Amino acid sequence: MKINFALRWFVFFLLALVLSGVSASTLDIPLIATERELQKELAVEKLNDIISSIKLRKDQAEAMSKALTKAKTEQEKNRIQAELTGLNNAIAEQKSSFEMILTAGLELSKEEASEKREFDWQKDLLEIVQPIMSELRQLTENKRKTDSLQKKIDFYKSQIRVINEVLKHIGEINKAGFEKEALAEFERISKKWNDQLLENQHLLEVAQLQLEEMIKSQSAKEISLGEHVQQFAAGRGATLLMALTAFISVYFSMLSLQKLLHWLNHRKKEERRTYYQRISTLFYHFLMAALSITAVFYVLSVRNDQVLIGITVLLLLSIIWLLKSSIPSYINELRILLNTGSVREGECINYNGIPLLVESLNYYSKLTNPMLPGLELRLTLAELANYVSRPYSADEPWFPCQRGDFVMLSDNTFAMVKCITLESIVLSQPNGVMPITYSIADFLAEQPKNFSLGFTVTSDFGIDYQHQSQCATVIPEILCAGIHRGLLLESFGHSLNNLVVHFAHANTSSLDYKIAATFDGTAAGDLFAIKRALQRYAVEVCNQQQWVIPFNQLVIHNAKD
């Protein structure tokens, strides 16, 4: 199926495809040679009828003009003047119809008069939009003309139906009983309606002929969809491609130049950017955008495509209009980008209970935790503006633990850290079984102790009072040496840093000692084995030295005593 109009620009390409189906269904009228010759003869006859009608109406207009000068009452003058105005309008319409049939509905556009006027931004904006509206008018011009003619045809048909009903009713009236004056009035009214019937039939035929001529003219000019695509590709499509290529080329060329300069300046050591460097970088980005847009306008102006220029201007104005309400937030984000806002580069913020280092400020800022290498966060400037950063000290802990550490919570839960995210932490047994998930807030509320940083295990042990003479001097030394030798034989012995045994206090049935063993973090997973080993080796020393280990005794006194 063919399309009746020329496709001019890409933005309204889909609209053209929709209208093409409607237009083509109306215009695809097969005509044989004999029918075309017959239509040409009918057109000539109709043109002659139009000239005859114009001549007749001019004669009537001259007669009415004479009658107007002879009219005596104001009411009669108004009636004649109204009829004369109607005749003049009919003559003008007939002349227009004559020309429209000859030209198949085509006409020249009027040249716009250039006027010297003061600056008015609203009018200037309308001038920018005018090429777009002209394209839309041209896109639908033929359809609007055919619709207008079809409405005229429907109107004249309805008028003819009404007139026929009136004439039928008039024909049924018996004229035999009319007096002379009544009969004259009857004949006048009957002639009036017959004249209107002839006039409307004439106008209907003229409108139908106009529609047929317009359809034939449009059918001769219609092109296929493939030709439309070729025209678009060679015209506006090529312009769009060149404009897009110019934008991408300028933007990414300047972006590559910036990255090259940044690499040359920071290839030896990583330094934080100064305030003036940030200002120059921001200005460079604005320059990139401005030159890229300028390249687009340059291509469009060279190609002399006023429609695309208007669309581009409207697009830029729309973006500016939509962003104007966000200017205060953009100013705040700009301050952060320049490292003068509430968040500074090299400082830390508290994100969901986890301290994060602001490693770099950019459109997407990078935040990390030095203690948790796998934990990284990217925040936009808008999100980062909701935080306040602070400097951090060198010995400040970034988090109580890291993956693989062994921790003990306030409820004496002892487990290994299996996984840490920004939202939660997972604890489990060393072999990964029985995992428990805590939110970061709940985990920190449990006041975790990190045994992987080093820990001390204490154990209580008691001997009998019969060894009281040696309890403060000899026994602690022998007990400490024996336990130390035993611990070194264990798999965690190399992690032992210190071992002390102190006399704690004299209990009711035993002399109690406090055993304290300090280990580095590598032995954290053997915490419970260490506790058992301290008691076991203490008992072995007692057996070797034949020290009696007491048990709790209850003394009962009789009343006689």
- 459-469 per-position pLDDT tens digit: 999 998 888 88
DSSP 397: -
Phi, psi of 362 (to 5 degrees): -155, -170
What pLDDT, on the 0 to 100 scale, is given for residue 126? 65
d(CA 361, CA 324): 24
CA-angle at 102, arms to 100 and 104, nearest 5°: 60
Per-position DSSP letters for 225-253, written without gaps between them = HHHHHHHHHHTHHHHHHHHHHHHHHHHHH
- CA distances for 386 relative to 333, 342, 345, 376, 383, angstroms: 10, 8, 15, 18, 6
Task: Express as a percent the part of the chain with pLDDT over 70.
Answer: 78
pLDDT digits (tens, 9 = 90+) for 349-369: 998 888 999 988 888 889 998
Going by C-alpha positions, the residue among 148, 145, 302 that lies closest to residue 239 is 302
Residue 14 near residue 33 (C-beta atoms within 8 A): no
Rounded to the nearest integer, the mean pLDDT of the chain is 79
- The enclosing H or E element of 137 equals helix 121-171
Q: Would you say the pTM of this structure is higher than 0.85?
A: no
**According to CATH, what is the number of the domain 455-545?**
3.30.70.960
Residues 6+ apart with CB under 8 A from 157: 204
pLDDT digits (tens, 9 = 90+) for 371-425: 888 788 898 888 888 899 999 888 888 899 989 999 999 988 999 999 998 889 9
Q: By CB neighbour count within 10 A (0-12 exposed, 13-18 middle, 19+ buried), where does 425 fall?
A: buried
Going by C-alpha positions, the residue among 334, 339, 349 that lies closest to residue 272 is 339
pLDDT digits (tens, 9 = 90+) for 212-241: 877 777 676 666 667 767 776 777 788 888
What pLDDT, on the 0 to 100 scale, is given for residue 333? 84
What pLDDT, on the 0 to 100 scale, is given for residue 139? 65
Tokens coding 511: 């002399």
DSSP, collapsed to helix, strand or coil, labels residue 32 as: coil
Strands laid side by side in the 511-519 sheet: 455-463, 511-519, 496-506
Domain ranges of the chain: 40-70+81-103+124-217, 405-450, 455-545
Spell out the CATH class of 405-450.
Answer: mainly beta
Q: Which amino acid is at 433?
A: V
Tokens coding 172: 């049924």
Residue 259 near residue 281 (C-beta atoms within 8 A): no
d(CA 530, CA 538): 12
Phi, psi of 119 (to 5 degrees): -65, 130
Segment 228-232 long-range contacts (CB within 8 Å, at least 24 positions apart): 228/3, 228/6, 228/7, 228/16, 231/6, 231/7, 232/7, 232/10, 232/13
Residue 8 near residue 145 (C-beta atoms within 8 A): no
d(CA 504, CA 508): 13
Residue 68 near residue 80 (C-beta atoms within 8 A): yes
